[in-house]
Amino acid sequence: MENILFLAHRIPFPPNKGDKVRSFNLLRYLSQHYRIWLGAFVDDPEDWRHLDAVRQFCAEVHCVPLDPRWAKLRSLWGLTTGEPLTLPYYRHAGLQSWVDRVLAEHDIGRALAFSSAMAQYLRGPRYERLRRVMDFVDVDSAKWAQYAAGKPWPLSWVYRREGRVLLNYEQTVATEFAASVFVTDEEAALFRRLAPGVLPMRVTAIANGVDMDYFNPDRDYPNPYPADEQVLTFTGAMDYWANEDAVSWFAQTVFPAIHCAVPKSRFYIVGAKPTAGVRQLATLPGVRVTGTVPDVRPYLAHAHLAVAPLRIARGVQNKVLEAMAMAQPVLATQAAMEGIVPCPDLQENIADDPAALAQRALALLADPNQRAQRGRAGRDWVLRHYHWDRNLSRISSLLEEDAA
């Protein structure tokens, strides 16, 4: 096997949040074709216990701790240097030394950087001998610009600045690296538009996938809900601002009409590390906040509907694909479905108007046959379009020297 250096901004295990789902499946896929030297940050102390699970895929693993509180303070250095705050946030001299040692001691001719911040460890003339591929996943600069619109000053200024400066950095990386990858065609097209100096043929999309055997609705799962409840569920990391905004908007704006019409309806917010704002939602009638759960599948399998009411989203929403894989009908906003190949059978479940979402939810709650039909249509669609190995097979060609 040939050797590869793989750098990720977060240890790619367990695959319990969006970026780690993608980075873990990249790790798993690459391990079938390359010997991997993995360098990554650990920003959750709980993740240190997963090192052995990661090592089974790698020739060598080097993880360094990242304390988000200190990293935020360190990132402010970017205001004085003119660089994106993202770079000093993820800068670590020890990781750079490890990268340089590994490249000096081993015959490594290719490297994959996952997330724009990790490109800084592979920039400069001495790394030009490597075939470097950048998996941006999303256009992060556009995400910061999008966040700015919903933040008060001075955060709005900081976010706008980050969007502007990070885009310049992303363009520079894309011109230096052999290929730049995004998670959807829409994100790739957006980057080509925002970065006209980058050769369009060096920007491509590689879609996510779903483990269809793991997310299998035909298995037996224990019911986590009281038997008489009619459940709408949201799954996702609840310390992520876009998820917090989504559940807050739905709980306060959409769900009250549903709960009024169906008193036994409940809105379950399922996900780790709920913020204070998310926990406060549990005081609303019919709203439940679970916090961390050992397995989200029972919460999907026994719900009546999955909801994805995101108003701010980039790329593809794994929570939507996983709910569809579990044959669960999904009620969603346009933003939540933007990166997913449109499924004709599910279009009527997509709306941005609170009244329209509530009306559609009530129609589905009242019709179990329609729920089952929509759920199976969603699973069939995911089977057709979101197979991990089929999608990731394109990464190998990008990593080879003769790739077009």
- Would you say residue 149 has pLDDT above 90? no
Beta-bridge mates of residue 133:
112, 179
Q: What Rg value do the Cα atoms of the chain yield, rounded?
A: 22
Share of the chain above pLDDT 70, in %: 99
Q: Give 56-100 as a DSSP string.
A: TT-SEEEEEE--HHHHHHHHTTHHHHTS-THHHHT--HHHHHHHH
- Would you say residue 403 has pLDDT above 80? no
Q: What are phi and psi of 38, to 5 degrees?
A: -110, 125
Domains of the chain: 2-209+387-399 (3.40.50.2000), 230-385 (3.40.50.2000)
CA 356 to chain centre: 27
| DSSP for residue 345 | G
41-75 confidence digits (pLDDT tens):
999 999 999 999 999 999 999 999 999 999 999 99
Give the pLDDT band (50/70/90) at residue 367.
Answer: very high
Buried b (16+ CB within 10 A) or exposed e, 310-348: bbbbbbbbbbbbbbbbbbbbbbbbebbbbbbeebeebee
Give the pLDDT band (50/70/90) at residue 401.
Answer: low
Q: 33, 66 in Cβ contact below 8 A?
A: no
Q: 63, 41 in Cβ contact below 8 A?
A: yes
Sheet containing 305-308: which strands, arranged edge to edge?
Answer: 287-291, 265-270, 230-235, 305-308, 330-332
Share of the chain above pLDDT 90, in %: 88
- Would you say residue 150 has pLDDT above 90? no
The pLDDT value given to residue 151: 81
The pLDDT value given to residue 290: 97
